[in-house]
Amino acid sequence: QVQLVESGGGLVQPGGSLRLSCVASGNILSLSVMGWYRQAPENERELVATITSGGTINYVESVKGRFVISRDNAKKTAFLQMNSLKPEDTDVYFCYARAQSSQVPYYLDYWGQGTQVTVSS
């Protein structure tokens, strides 16, 4: 199986920055996509940004120009640099990966436990 562990959430003032990290571990054969979703209570989980192993990136419109996603394939780690944060960015952020493990011969979706990001003065 594949485990995802996030870090880097916290409380920041509007206009500030945070950097989230997500490390994948387990019997991983391939990590085709890594990314971040976010979810507030009673809301659906929303895609924030994804990046493929080849470097193709996708952002939700509301974070374009402010957030930057990157990954280190050798370290099986994804990063989300969040700049110019706004109160509406307050959410629980979940790391996501589409991965193939040695136990399962096809790709599955995996999720981290979530990390709280709060933007408030």
Query: Mean pLDDT for each 10-residue chunk of the chain (121 residues)?
Result: 94 98 95 95 92 96 97 96 97 97 92 96 95
Per the CB < 8 A criterion, the answer to whether 92 and 115 are in contact is yes
Per the CB < 8 A criterion, the answer to whether 93 and 118 are in contact is no
Residue at token pair 């929303």: 46
81-105: b or e for each residue (b if 16 or more CB lie within 10 Å)?
ebeebeeebbbbbbbbbbbbbeeee
Task: Look at residue 40 in the predicted model and tell me its pLDDT.
Answer: 84
Task: Look at residue 76 in the predicted model and tell me its pLDDT.
Answer: 96
Task: Look at residue 86 in the predicted model and tell me its pLDDT.
Answer: 98
Task: Look at residue 65 in the predicted model and tell me its pLDDT.
Answer: 97
Task: Look at residue 2 in the predicted model and tell me its pLDDT.
Answer: 94
The SS3 assignment for 63 reads: helix
Task: Look at residue 1 in the predicted model and tell me its pLDDT.
Answer: 85
